Structure 1
Amino acid sequence: MKVNVNYENKRNLILEAFYKLVAELGMENVSITKIAKAINIPSSLIFYYFKNKQELIYGLIDYMFDRCIDVSIPPVEMSNKDVKGEFTKFIDSMFSVKGALDIDSRVYFSCVNIALRDKKAKEKFIAYTQQANEKLLRYIEYFKDKGVINCDNATEIVYYLMVVIAGLQDTLDFLDDHEKFKCIVDFHKKQLFRFLAFIE
């Protein structure tokens, strides 16, 4: 058991160093040697955990998504008797695009670029999207069942939300105006509440 914990810890240490270097230098400028130097281990030891750089990149994609799935779709407290308040808190948290703030865009888009050319990397993105959609669908159906929102098709709401949130994340990356971004977020939240017949 201890060996497995140590193995996972060392593996995560390598991935964390890789993540930070990609954020700083870009994927194309990060070598195994630079990763090893950043955490003061021999380069050969990285190959004990990842058989080649491609496997290391797949590990980075998993590491990135593990960091953001719980943040980008925050948990719903189903024991909260104030279901309306819980829905508002949930939407506020989703629209804060905290997942975008916790994941460095340079790392994310480097991984997207790889997924556009690499079948296995693309499958990882698809699997993450499905996992995120399923989690969000459970929450939307919960709020629908509680009578807080009104929608004929919860799956369509999930797709709508995921597209809006992705668009907001991209906007956040390129819009250097906090007040303007807040106005855009508020507009989309109001549209969503109207769409779902939610009355605050």
Structure 2
Amino acid sequence: MGRKSIKEIRRREIVTAFYQVAKKEGLENASIAKVAKKMEINPSLVMHYFNTKEDLIYELIDFILERYRHIYKPKKSVSDPKERLIQIIDNLFSRKWNTLFDDGVFFSCFALVFRSKRIKAHYKDLHDSLRAMLAKALQEAKDEGAIDVADVKAASDMIFILVEGAYYYLSLSDENNDDKLAIYKNEVFMRLGLTYNVQAAEV
């Protein structure tokens, strides 16, 4: 894998600055001018790489996906498919998943799927990619006899529905919800027929 070009580096710097502005002021208030001000560059330089704010948002969705991919990067020492799957599920139901990307920016991006077919298609690609990555880990564990599921694609979809629903609801609460996350995680392990002891607090 070769070194990144100056163009790639500059685009990433701009998208990162755009994310930081959106996180601080809200996606609706973020602008090319504000990104340029934060980077202390001329707005024309931002527009050299991104013609419109929508182009920036489109790239921001890729930025989201890249950050979420860290969920699927187990420790180098983990080579066993079962242990790798356990680590992924632990990550999905942890603060790590919830803090990889600002919820306000994420849901602001999501709201745009109802106004832009381009963003809607790209957002769907993001979610499909994450599901495919989980399905791959499930398939590897199934091949080793570590889990008992008939359809890994359906299982992957079920897990994400549970994860996304949980974080949408729990984001409405300022309380510590680790006990609920443990219960949701335990439910996933049981549905997969995965032999693993998960400590879940009763509610």
TM-score, normalized by the shorter chain, greater than 0.5: yes
Post-superposition offset of 1:77: 6.4
Answer yes or no: is 1:129 the counterpart of 2:153.
no
Query: Which digits, 9 at most, give the CA deviation of each residue in 1:131-182, with x for residues without a partner?
Result: 111111111011111111111111111011111111222234222222xx11
- What is the CA–CA distance in structure 2 between the aligned matches of 1:191 and 1:146, rounded to whole Å? 21
Post-superposition offset of 1:87: 3.5
Note closer, same or farther for the CA distance 1:51–1:144 as it changes in structure 2 (3 Å cut). Answer: same
What letter is aligned with 2:36?
A
- What is the CA–CA distance in structure 2 between the aligned matches of 1:61 and 1:91, rounded to whole Å? 23
Q: Is the 8 A contact 1:76 1:139 kept in 2?
A: no
What letter is aligned with 1:135?
M
Say which SS state the counterpart of residue 145 (structure 2) adopts: coil
- What is the CA–CA distance in structure 2 between the aligned matches of 1:150 and 1:47, rounded to whole Å? 51
Note closer, same or farther for the CA distance 1:86–1:63 as it changes in structure 2 (3 Å cut). Answer: closer
Q: Is the 8 A contact 2:132 2:153 kept in 1?
A: no
State the match for 2:153 in structure 1. 155
Say which SS state the counterpart of residue 103 (structure 1) adopts: coil
TM-score (normalised: structure 1): 0.87
Aligned structure 1 segments of 4 or more residues deviating by more than 6 angstroms = 76-79
- Structure 1, unaligned runs of 5 or more: none
Q: Find 1:143's aligned residue among 118, 141, 144.
A: 141
CA-atom RMSD in angstroms: 2.2
State the match for 1:190 in structure 2. 186
- What is the CA–CA distance in structure 2 between the aligned matches of 1:25 and 1:173, rounded to whole Å? 19
Answer yes or no: is 1:110 the counterpart of 2:108.
yes
Say which SS state the counterpart of residue 5 (structure 2) adopts: helix
TM-score (normalised: structure 2): 0.86
Query: Which digits, 9 at most, give the CA deviation of each residue in 1:14-33, with x for residues without a partner?
Result: 11111011111112212221
1:40-55 mapped onto 2 (5 Å cutoff): 40-55=40-55
Answer yes or no: is 1:17 the counterpart of 2:25.
no
Post-superposition offset of 1:102: 1.0
Q: Is the 8 A contact 1:64 1:103 kept in 2?
A: yes
State the match for 2:199 in structure 1. none
Answer yes or no: is 1:80 the counterpart of 2:76.
no
- What is the CA–CA distance in structure 1 between the aligned matches of 2:150 and 2:160, rounded to whole Å? 18
Query: Which digits, 9 at most, give the CA deviation of each residue in 1:70-129, with x for residues without a partner?
Result: 124444869635x54444333212211523211001111111111221000011111111
Post-superposition offset of 1:64: 2.1
Q: Is the 8 A contact 2:32 2:46 kept in 1?
A: yes
Q: Is the 8 A contact 2:91 2:97 kept in 1?
A: no
Identical-pair percentage: 27
Note closer, same or farther for the CA distance 1:118–1:194 as it changes in structure 2 (3 Å cut). Answer: same
Give aligned pairs, total.
195
- What is the CA–CA distance in structure 1 between the aligned matches of 2:57 and 2:83, rounded to whole Å? 41
- What is the CA–CA distance in structure 2 between the aligned matches of 1:66 and 1:25, rounded to whole Å? 23
Larger relative contact order (CA 8 Å, sep ≥ 6) = 1
Note closer, same or farther for the CA distance 1:132–1:78 as it changes in structure 2 (3 Å cut). Answer: farther
